[in-house]
Amino acid sequence: MSITTPKQTSHLKREILVRLIRAYLGNNFEEDVRLIPYQMRPKGSDIHFRCCIHKERAILRDRVISGLGFDIEDAQDSQLLSDLAKTAAERTQVEEHPLTILQTACNECVPARIHVTDLCQGCVARPCVSICRFGAIKVENGKAHIDHDKCKNCGMCVQVCPFQAITKIIVPCENACPVNAIAKDEDGITRIDFDKCISCGKCVSACPFGAVHKKSHIIDIIKNIKNGKKVIAMLAPSIMGQLPCTPQQLRKAILNLGFADVVEVAFGADVTTKNEAAEFVERMESGQEFMTTSCCAAYNELVEKHIPEIKPYRSETKTPAYYTAEVVKKENPDALTVFFSPCVAKRREAMQNPNIDFVLNYEELGAWFVALNIQVGECEESKYTKESSAQGRNYGVTGGVSSAVNALLADDKKAKAHIINGLDKNQIRDLKKFAKNGKCEFGNLIEVMACPGGCLGGSSTINYFKPAQKQIGEYISTSPDINDIAGKSNRR
């Protein structure tokens, strides 16, 4: 399982990030940034995917703008990349929304609709006509025709056609979005409605043109390290399956980038587990039928924006990132914190937390290592100073949160877990039903993960699911049990 973008677009994004990092660490940042599109597609280059080298360079320019951390939509065509680079180097605050759309790369997909192909035989049975409740289909000249003013795109005709002659044309990003937050406006320009968006990142993964971009904080992070600030890295549990090295080698490699300290967010996950286990017992004893977990940032945005009726059933326990950042800031009040994230949603959560200053995703981290020629698998090992449990380190895999909670519960109080392994329209419909009925027939602890596979399926991961899961499993096998850390007194 891999939820990453297609390889070619991933390679383009990484190459741009590598060039940006090297430019910032070089002697002529602004001019080096201006030249990136021309160096990647020099005159006479035969590597292009569009009509001409000029459009190819325009698209690369927009990708650079995103890498600098700006909205592509807001950048003027006349603005030089060198001017934007100067602004990025001087700014003191990053932009609010994590996503931006590269319109020059967007292929202007045709609107989603039901379409009758040439396979239609105009059969006598005409099940497509009889099934349509809206009177949108009729047969003319021996072939079915659809009145798109009447058609509701329900897809019933697609299902009943015996020749599979009717197809549903989709727009990949729109089709992937579980809350209809991305669509074309009246001018045919793709827009994200941030009042609806839950930052799940599914549109990023779905777009085959790599047109949905994540705005980067990498220049801001490197700038503060370069200026001598104490910057502390906080690693989400899923990162331990991303790179070909041991967790201890990863820590040393990140220290080699200039970070003052590296902390596992699994440490905060153990705090989340203890609090959520206690909360679950309290809610069940009070007569509540079920409780949902609260670790997935995309799910939390879904609740706030689309399912407020399920709020009474959502755990009030904070996320592992929240507890980790709280402890790190308390111990290092003058330090800047950087959360290493597998997805867009955690970036959104982090930007709402005053204890988290910046976010770096796994794609950006990989590019940073490449830019500095750091071979992570050849680094020495460095021991983490805060102890984390096997259960906390398993939070990045679907089922990890509920199994961690159960590890702290006595046998007669254990939860019956219901796992939502990836949010889609059907899962959202089920969550609304649970909230309306006040119960879930499948279990009393609902673990919600927006991405299939959990955080290992996040839109910013760089390893395939199965090898990443295996690598994390090896780390977990050498980790202490949460009960050995928490003590038997924490059992409920």
Could you read off the pLDDT of 343-366 as tens digits, one per residue?
Answer: 999 989 988 999 999 999 999 999
Q: Is pLDDT at 253 greater than 90 in this prediction? A: yes
pLDDT at 491 over 50: no
pLDDT higher than 90, residue 103 = no
Summarised one tens digit per residue, pLDDT across range 82-93 is: 999 999 999 998
Q: Which residues of 6-26 are buried (b: 16+ CB within 10 A; e: fewer)?
A: eeebeebbbbbbbbbbebbee
Structure tokens given for 182: 């991305």
Q: Tell me the one-letter amino acid at 362.
A: Y
Contacts with 266 (C-beta within 8 Å, 6 or more apart), sequence order: 237, 320, 388, 389, 392, 393, 395
pLDDT value at position 2? Answer: 34
Contact 442, 431 (CB under 8 A): no
Question: Which CATH number does the domain 113-169 belong to among 1.10.3720.10, 3.40.250.10, 3.90.220.20, 3.30.70.20?
Answer: 3.30.70.20
CA pair distance 62, 73, nearest whole angstrom: 9
Q: Where in the chain is the domain with CATH 3.30.70.20?
A: 113-169
Distances (CA, A) of 108 to 171, 188, 211, 425, 487: 9, 7, 10, 24, 58
pLDDT band at residue 449 using 50, 70 and 90 as cut-offs = very high
Cβ-contact 56, 104 below 8 angstroms: no
In tens, the pLDDT along 1-59 reads 333 344 567 888 899 999 999 999 999 999 999 999 999 999 877 766 667 888 889 89
Q: C-alpha distances in angstroms, 293 versus 226, 302, 317, 484?
A: 39, 13, 8, 23
Residue type, 176: A
> Residue 411 has what pLDDT?
95
Integer Cα distance of 201 and 215 in angstroms: 12
- Please give the pLDDT value at position 153: 86
Query: pLDDT, tens digit, for every residue of 381-424?
Result: 999 999 999 999 999 999 999 999 999 999 999 999 999 999 99
The pLDDT value recorded for residue 318 is 97
The backbone torsions φ and ψ at residue 119, rounded to the nearest 5 degrees and listed phi first, read: -75, -15
Please give the average per-residue pLDDT across 209-238, as a whole number. 95
Burial group, residue 227, by CB count within 10 angstroms (0-12, 13-18, 19+): exposed
- How far, in Å, CA of 337 to CA of 343, rounded? 17
202 pLDDT higher than 90: yes
- In tens, the pLDDT along 113-151 reads 899 999 999 899 999 999 999 999 999 988 999 999 999
Closest CA to 73 of 95, 92, 94, 50: 95
CA 482 vs CA 47, 93, 295, 491: distances in Å: 52, 38, 18, 11
| Those residues with Cβ within 8 angstroms of residue 353's Cβ, 6 or more apart along the chain or in another chain | 321, 322, 325
pLDDT given for residue 76 in this prediction: 82
Kindly report the average pLDDT of the chain as a whole number.
92
